[in-house]
Amino acid sequence: MQNVLVTGGCGFIGSNFVRLVLETLPEARIFNLDKLTYAGNPANLKDVENNPHYRFVNGDICDQVLLERLFAEEKIDTVVHFAAESHVDRSIEGPAEFIQTNILGTFALLETARKFWITSPQPPSPSPRFLHVSTDEVYGSLGDTGLFTETTSYDPRSPYSVSKASSDHLVNAYYHTYGLPILMTNCSNNYGPYHFPEKLIPLIINNARNGKDLPVYGDGKNVRDWLYVVDHCTAILKVLQQGRVGETYNVGGNSEKQNIEVVQTICDILDEKVAPLANDQPRRSLIKFVKDRAGHDRRYAIDASKIKNELGWEPSVTFADGIRTTVDWYLENEEWMNGVLDGSYQDYYARMYDER
């Protein structure tokens, strides 16, 4: 890992990963390729923008010419592919962007890596790596019991999860057909600093702090496995450094929670930490159950025993600790939150969110 291309590095997980690599691998050079769509925020990496080992490139992963120039000029030997459209409701309203970015963008990256690593007479490294970051949503929905494993059959239910499943299959095809040295991770729901506020946890923190309604889909009993974002990033780094080429590793937080539990926990923490509501009511009184999302998967849960047994990774942050750390971060970074809350999205946030 000398010259690392991170796609979508100005997003939530990508920015946390860039920061982790710069802190732990001082010899690595990071090239952050990000289109800066609504959820890509350069402020997420303001603290490292002058680091000599970091370079931001404003561009689209679908731009084959740009990709080939980057690979040639910077001798890219590692790709960590985060860039994706990820909001389920947005995929239902407008699936075309998800097909374009998540499928065709991944295809463009794979083709470029194949050209420079496989067919080139002078590849940049004897052991390049292409790590594709995916999601547990490709597996579909679980019942009350059971866990997703790396061999669980794919059963995606939304345009978003279908687009990610398609990209997963492309990545695996490039390994089996061309010998491209790929790795893949399928993670559970992330939370933590720099999370864009169309997602459940930052949305609830912001609304509850300011006395606004807290929308909860359906009966609120949809279950997700919550993974602190820094734990996820350490898992990705571990897979890059020690994972077996061609393998998939599921990454989970061992923290299954109903959505309503998550919302109530945030309310209780904020009641402890900030001024009470004007009417002195607990913040749980702001909870409003709203019409459920179309095709809303009931339960996700990850079996992360493979990455634990093979690579020695397991989550280090409990949900109880991580959610308090996350609430504190948002309380201490109100300026960041105000900077990303463009007025044109306010109504959208009020009626729609995504757990992921």
Active site residues per annotation: 136-137, 160
Residue whose tokens read 């990508």: 14
Which residues are CB-neighbours of 88 under 8 A, at least 6 positions away? Answer: 137, 158, 160, 161, 293, 354, 356
- DSSP 8-state symbol, 101: I
Contact assessment for residue 239 and residue 255, using Cβ atoms and an 8 Å cutoff: no
C-alpha span between 245 and 310 (Å, rounded): 13
Contact assessment for residue 66 and residue 59, using Cβ atoms and an 8 Å cutoff: yes
Q: Do the strands 214-217 and 287-290 form a parallel or antiparallel pair, or are they unpaired?
A: parallel
Residue 148 amino acid letter: F
Nearest alpha carbon to residue 206 among 110, 214, 172: 214
The structure tokens listed for 62 are: 């679908």
Contact assessment for residue 235 and residue 307, using Cβ atoms and an 8 Å cutoff: yes
Give one word for 218, left, alpha or beta, with left for phi > 0 and alpha for psi -120 to 50: left
Nearest alpha carbon to residue 47 among 82, 75, 23: 23
